[in-house]
């Protein structure tokens, strides 16, 4: 049977690592999961209890833009966290952040548009762009610039759009307000669209992240309930779009998805008021971050930028290998620790890098680091 070239995208390597770890567990091994950016906690307990109490009412379609009460609550969230006065009419509820990216790329770009990605970056940006007929443009970043793109990259690469992420995946580095403003100005000067991935907001340690909405309204902001709100499996996110783009995005959402899952939207609404439980989760990530920084350095894995936010450390392992995929396989096989090779995030330079996630329990992180230290010691002897 004939097929479309839209399906000729690279695999999401972290999902392949998860499958290899699953097979090892099925064979009876105990695996420490440092490969995936998934909180070890579930949705907030109070939110689940509230949803269960509502389940006597039948679930059905919601309007395409999402439950009005959830959109209003998200607008209040921007006032509470960032001091931004946001019209709820600009909020679009999506089927996870992935659904938001599909809507954003479809609404903003025509075929073959050039969309910049500061590498290393979240790999699915590139693959979704390819699948919808757009051209991802890798912008190599450096340790010195904390793995973030620069304003001059927009003109230098002749971009129609730019995707930024703060905190970034896989590095955990952030952009401050002046840096966001400079990137927004550079995009405006070239009439290039700006998309700001803010799905790890709320998971920060020393400095709270800025939102692109604090510096411009001419931006698509993508966020999700998966990370801070600990709702990965519920597949619900949101997007803020300029006022004159709302109807365009609504038409696309109606036809592509009808709506995000109704139950997930209800749970998300309740989760936004579970601050005490969510902040307790964040305290675990902070403890894990300290353990991870100390433990990686003790194991001899010292070349990384300490993460400002999220729950990742991106480590240069070029002193030990030029095959990160094989190195990750070796760590899984010999140490029982699942980690993600950098090829997921940077197709050109990722063979020298590994990403370690510290989203799981502190006990798991401590045990995983002890296993890594033994593995590195044995490898050196």
- SS3 of 111-166: the string is CCCEEEEEECCCHHHHHHHHHCCCEEEEEECCCCCCCCCCCHHHHHCCCCEEEEEC
Take residue 338 and report the two structure tokens written for it. 């699942």
What Rg do the C-alpha atoms of the chain give, in angstroms? 21
Q: Which residues of 64-89 are buried (b: 16+ CB within 10 A; e: fewer)?
A: bbbbeebbebbbebbeeebebebebe
Confidence of residue 11 (pLDDT cuts 50, 70, 90): confident
Predicted confidence at residue 97, as pLDDT, reads 96
In this prediction, residues 10-15 reach a mean pLDDT of: 80
**Range with lowest mean pLDDT among 6-15, 48-57, 314-323, 363-372:** 6-15
Q: How far apart are CA 149 and CA 180, in angstroms?
A: 10
With H, G, I as helix, E, B as strand and everything else as coil, classify residue 356.
strand
Confidence label for 204 from pLDDT (cuts 50, 70 and 90): very high
Predicted pLDDT at 344: 86
The per-residue pLDDT for 36 is: 84
**Residue 193 parent element (H or E):** strand 193-197
- Cβ atoms of 47 and 263 within 8 Å: the answer is no
Instruction: For residues 105 and 117, give the distance between their C-alpha atoms in angstroms, rounded to a whole number.
Output: 13
* Mean pLDDT value of segment 279-297: 96
Cβ atoms within 10 Å of 110's Cβ, excluding its own: 8
Answer whether residue 12 shows pLDDT above 90: no
| Global pTM value | 0.94
> Does position 326 have pLDDT exceeding 90, yes or no?
yes
The domains found in the chain, sorted by start residue, are: 5-43+276-380 (3.40.640.10), 45-273 (3.40.640.10)
How far apart (Å, rounded) are the C-alpha atoms in residues 126 and 110? Answer: 16
Distance CA 2, CA 95 (A): 29
For residues 115-120, average pLDDT: 97
- Which pLDDT score is estimated for 331? 96
**379: exposed, middle or buried (Cβ count in 10 Å: 0-12, 13-18, 19+):** middle
The percent of residues above 70 in pLDDT, for the chain, comes to 100
Tell me, what's the pLDDT at 57?
84
Kindly tell me the burial class for residue 4, based on how many C-beta atoms sit within 10 Å of its own C-beta (0-12, 13-18, 19 or more): exposed
CB atoms within 10 A of CB 13: 20
Mean pLDDT of the chain: 95
Residue 66 has pLDDT above 80, yes or no: yes
Residue 176 near residue 210, CB atoms below 8 Å = yes
User: pLDDT tens, 159-202?
Assistant: 999 999 999 999 999 999 999 999 999 999 999 999 999 999 99
Candidates 345, 352, 360, 291; CA nearest to 165 is 345
Tens of pLDDT, residue by residue over 327-341, are 999 999 999 999 999
């Amino acid at each position: 049977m004939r097929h479309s070239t839209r399906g000729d995208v690279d695999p999401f390597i972290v999902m392949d690592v998860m499958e290899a770890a699953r097979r090892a567990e099925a064979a009876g091994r105990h695996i420490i999961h440092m490969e995936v950016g998934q909180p070890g906690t579930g949705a907030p307990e109070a939110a689940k209890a509230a949803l269960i109490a509502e389940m006597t009412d039948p679930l059905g379609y919601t309007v395409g833009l999402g439950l009005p009460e959830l959109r209003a609550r998200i607008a209040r969230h921007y006032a509470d966290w960032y001091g931004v006065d946001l019209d709820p009419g600009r909020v679009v509820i999506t089927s996870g952040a992935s659904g938001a990216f599909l809507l954003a790329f479809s609404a903003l770009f025509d075929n073959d548009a050039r969309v910049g990605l500061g590498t290393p970056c979240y790999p699915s940006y590139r693959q979704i762009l390819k699948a919808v007929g757009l051209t991802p443009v890798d912008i190599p970043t450096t340790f010195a610039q904390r793995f973030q793109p620069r304003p001059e990259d927009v003109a230098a690469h002749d971009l129609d759009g730019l995707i930024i992420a703060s905190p970034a995946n896989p590095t955990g580095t952030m952009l401050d307000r002046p840096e966001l403003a400079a990137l927004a100005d550079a995009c405006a000067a070239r009439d290039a669209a700006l998309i700001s991935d803010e799905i790890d907001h709320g998971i920060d340690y020393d400095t709270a992240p800025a939102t692109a909405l604090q510096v411009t309204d001419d931006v698509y902001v993508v966020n999700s309930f998966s990370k801070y709100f600990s709702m990965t499996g519920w597949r619900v996110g949101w997007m803020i779009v300029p006022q004159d783009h709302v109807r365009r995005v609504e038409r696309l959402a109606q036809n592509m998805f009808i709506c995000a899952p109704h139950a997930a939207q209800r749970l998300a609404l309740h989760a936004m008021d579970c601050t005490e439980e969510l902040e307790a989760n964040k305290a675990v990530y902070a403890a894990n971050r300290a353990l991870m920084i100390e433990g990686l350095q003790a194991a001899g894995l010292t070349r990384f930028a300490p993460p400002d936010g999220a729950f990742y450390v991106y480590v240069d392992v070029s002193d030990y290998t030029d095959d990160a995929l094989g190195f990750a396989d070796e760590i899984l096989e010999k140490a029982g620790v699942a980690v993600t090779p950098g090829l997921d995030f940077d197709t050109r330079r990722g063979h020298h890098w590994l990403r370690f996630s510290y989203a799981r329990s502190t006990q798991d992180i401590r045990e995983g680091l002890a296993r890594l230290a033994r593995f590195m010691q044995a490898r050196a002897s």
